[in-house]
Structure 1
Amino acid sequence: MQRPVGAAPILVANAGSSSLKIRIVAPDGAVQFAGMAAEVGGASRLVLPAGSRAEAIVDHAAALVALIDAARAEGVDPDSVGAVAHRVVHGGPDLAASAELTPTVLSRAQAAATLAPLHNPPALAVISAAAERWPGLRQVACFDTAFHSTIPALGWRYALPDLPETRDIRRYGFHGLSYASLVARLPAATGRPLPRRLLAAHLGNGASLCAILDGRSAATTMGYSPLGGLTMGTRTGEIDGNAVLDIARRAGIDRAAAILNRESGLRGLGGASDMRTLETAGTPEAAFAVAHFIHWAVHHAGAMVADMGGIDAVVFTGGIGENSATVRAGIMRGLAFLGLDFDEASNGRGGPVIHAPSSRVQALIHAADEEGWIAEEARRVLGWP
């Protein structure tokens, strides 16, 4: 059938390792439908505007079908969409911008699946399911690694020899869609030009920092994979390579991967991956986990500021960054040596905002909106107004 274009909505698909979020976005940015399939392949459930319900969802392809059916049940016609846009975590070394999913782009994303084994395969499964559901419909891939393609070689190259065994082992960086959205939208949100030296903190179950210099990524804490850098919900963050090898020798590679990616971080230290749970737990282990998260955020922030030669603003985004006053205050105290001063105040939208009334350094909160940014990116790639 002839697909509508230009004025048609875009379906945004954001696939995680065990989840799928979709959003149907009108040309004016209005959200026609939003929903999520959680715990795909396990104790799965649909999270919808009307509430959450258990539903058997065996894989990501089935998750897409279930969410499309849910949209239709809410009066939104999924067949009205003119394109599907996907968050694809890893674009590999050759994809430095969002792109329409031609056979060449798709093959490169497939090749990069070995670099992001927890993230790319689910996205590729949803891409395939969308192609089956809407044959001939244009699809766009928005890569989380693309924003960091501006990091200089001194920042992305590990001190490894150039060997076949080390090919493509380099720092890629992630959360790029969140950072790109922040760069584009922060000036309108603050009414001020984008700060030249911006320390951005995307803090959530996955967490990273980015040094944004003149609107471009200059350094970031995540590296070859989303495992590196800060303490995270279930990931270790920074860990010595020989320690990883030793865990693999003791437990085997697959078990080591599970420990490092799914059983470590806040969960491994405090017994829970959710910051809200830890902040109210009242146990020494939980308090240590929160302190560990803050300590390593401050530790890595110092390196990001050094890479920029100073700092003009810090901005918090992501679930923890936007909602945990405890974490923000701890990080700001750790950065007090930079001359930051701060107060918490209401910004009129029901959430906190940080400001620095006696300092030259702005401190801000900005809501993450990866799905909204993906929709905007897709329209640009497709040449739609």
Structure 2
Amino acid sequence: MRKIFNFSAGPAVLPEVVLQQAREEMLDWHGSGMSVMEMSHRGKEFMTIAQQTEQDLRDLANIPDHYKVLFLQGGASGQFAMVPMNLLGNKKHADYVHTGQWSEKAIAEASSYCQVHIAASAEKSAFNSVPAIDQWQISQDTAYVHYTPNETIGGVEFQWTPDLSMIAGGSSDIPLVADMSSDFLSRPFDINKFGLIYAGAQKNVGPAGLVIVIVREDLLRIDPLSGTPTMYRYKTHAKNDSMYNTPPTYAIYIMGLVMRWLKQLGGLSAIEQRNLTKAKLIYDLIDASQFYRCPVVTPDRSRMNIPFTLVDAALDSIFLQQAEARGLIQLKGHRSVGGMRASIYNAMPVEGVQTLVTFMQEFEKNHA
């Protein structure tokens, strides 16, 4: 059993049973005599792994056949460029919702390829909430609308999926694009409401090095921008079942084990309930305290990343030292916002959150 609870925002904690199975299979996967890291990506052994991983993902998220699942590299940051390269077509505009640092990075990258219109922004609220749907304004002839359902740094999360047909200037025909990196598979979602989603694996579904893209097939008919490299074309990877070049094979294998673990837990509805339980434990403590504070408005609080501050910032280093001594690590907030941040992704056990809450209660008692 582990002796620590890892609250890192990513690369993040993985299920212990997954790591144990990976350890057992490290030298010899299913009698093949090979480690997965040694396998040809076109060999029957790895093809079996990749196909099963995709099927388990489709089962968990109810992904229909007219969506392609791609296993790519370059992280979500690579998708900041690939999305406009592949979805703009002959249009000049794309709409983005600005809710924090990750959406800001996506906006900056897209600006190199098109005119970016900010459909809505949370800047006036210091990025401590999400813009209400009636504040969104879609530009004319936009290629797509992009948003970030969960801002890992700020701890702000959409608890609803935007319906573009209800927004001024919007239409159900406009593709909705989402960077789901930090809440992917943490709850059920309806893929039919999206044209494309992408997610770095290192938060909820696997190790760093893998990014998952789920794209509606009709969008693959859009011609990429002139000069788009072959490797940056979704068509390339869709036509070759993500095997155009050597994919991140070991990361896909670990993701497959995580998919199986999620299925055994009962699927996305079951993991959502567990995530709600974990988040409530921390937020209830914060809300009942005069010692801790969460800056995010209650309806928009993230279930995955919980930022909080202490009543006196001079206590921060003491808090972190004592937490680490208790086996509670990676609680320091992002350098841009300070304070603390507890990332409680799918694999964080309830026991870990309970241990953190107990420590926080004791620390408050000793330092209030």
Give the TM interval when normalised to the shorter protein: under 0.3
Q: TM-score, normalised by structure 1?
A: 0.25
Report 1 or 2 for greater relative contact order, CA contacts < 8 Å, sequence distance ≥ 6. Answer: 2
